[in-house]
Amino acid sequence: MTDAAVHASSAPPDGGAPDELSLKEWIAKNIQLLIAVGSVGLLILRVVRVAHGSSAVEQRLITAGSALSVIFGALAPVTPYLLFAATVATGIGGVSNCRASRRAARQEAMIFFTLMAVGILLIAYTVPWPMIPYLALWLLVISAAAWLGDLVVVEHRINPWRYWRERRSSGVRLLKGTAVMWVCAALVFILLQVGLDDRPWIPSEHISSGTTNLVGYVLSDDSGKLTFMTDTTRELVLVDGNRATETFCHVTRHGRWARLQGSLQRFPTLVQVLGWEAQPSPGATCPLLK
C-alpha cells in the first residue's frame, strides 16, 4: 500500500479533517510536559507565596543559598503527598496485576508490592504520624475529584450512579480507568496545598540587639550584616549580626492552613513513636511580637 493510500485510509469518509484527540488522550500524550510544568509552577508559587507577593523578597529568597537548596526547600513540603500517593498507586497496580491471567503480569505485581513496601517503610520513617490520616483524606478527595472529572469532562455523563455501577465490578478499575485525570487532580491539589502554605523553608529565628527585637528569617550574611526577613510583614531589614543575639525558634503565628501543616509536621514519626528512634525536641516557640 502506498503512502497516499495510507493517508487516504486514515482520513474520515466525508473528506473532513482527521479526528481530534479527546481530552484524556491529549493529557495522556502530554503528561510528562504537564508534570514538568507543574513542578516549575510549584517552585514559582512557593516563592511567591512565601514572599507575600513582594518582588524584592522574592529575589532575596531565590538567591538565599544555592539553587539546589532553594529547589529542595521549596518542594520539600509536597514530598509526603507525593510519597503517599506513589505508595497507594503501586499497591493498586500490584492488585490489578494479580487479577490478570497472564503470568508476566503476576510477576510484575511482585515488583509493585515491593515498591509499595518500600514506600510504607519510608512513610513510617519520614512522615509524622498525624499526617497519615490527613494524607488518606487528601487522597480520597483527589480520587473523588478525578472520578467526577472523568465522569463529566471525559465521559460527558450526568448519571453518576450508573457510571459507578459500570465500574464497580473491579475495585481497582475505578482508579485505574481514571489514572490520567487522577494525576491532573493530584497536581491541582498539590498546587492548592503550596498556595495556601506561606511558611518559609528557612529556619525561623529571634534576633535581639538593643532596641532591635525581630522574629523572622536570615536570608544572607554579608560580613556580619544580616539581611533579615520579618515573619509578620515579610519586610527586609539589615541587622548588625556582630551585636545581635540569634536564637532558633518555631513560629506559631501563620495563616490557618500553615498552622495546621506546621502542627502536623512537628509530631514524631511512627518509628519514633514506637521507640526505634529518639523523638525530636519540640524546640522553643518564637515570642509574639507586634
pLDDT of 162: 61
Residue range 183-215, pLDDT digits in tens: 778 778 887 877 778 888 888 899 987 777 899
Cell (9 digits) for 254: 501563620
| Residue 167 predicted with pLDDT over 70 | no
Q: What residue type is assigned to position 110 of the chain?
A: M
Residues 147, 149, 150, 151, CA torsion sign? positive
Contacts 24+ apart (CB under 8 A), 191-194: 191/38, 191/41, 191/42, 191/45, 193/77, 193/78, 193/81, 193/261, 194/42, 194/45, 194/46, 194/49, 194/77, 194/78
Q: What percent of the chain has pLDDT over 70?
A: 80
In sequence order, the 6+-apart residues with CB closer than 8 A to the CB of 262 are: 199, 250, 251, 252, 254
| Residue 220 predicted with pLDDT over 70 | yes
| Residue 145 predicted with pLDDT over 50 | yes
**CA 157 to the chain's CA centroid:** 30
| Residue 177 predicted with pLDDT over 60 | no
Q: Which residue has the higher pLDDT, 41 or 3?
A: 41
pLDDT of 254: 62
pLDDT of 257: 72
Residue range 7-57, pLDDT digits in tens: 444 444 554 444 556 666 777 788 788 778 877 888 888 888 888 888 889
Q: Which residue has the higher pLDDT, 218 or 21?
A: 218
pLDDT of 156: 61
| Residue 259 predicted with pLDDT over 50 | yes
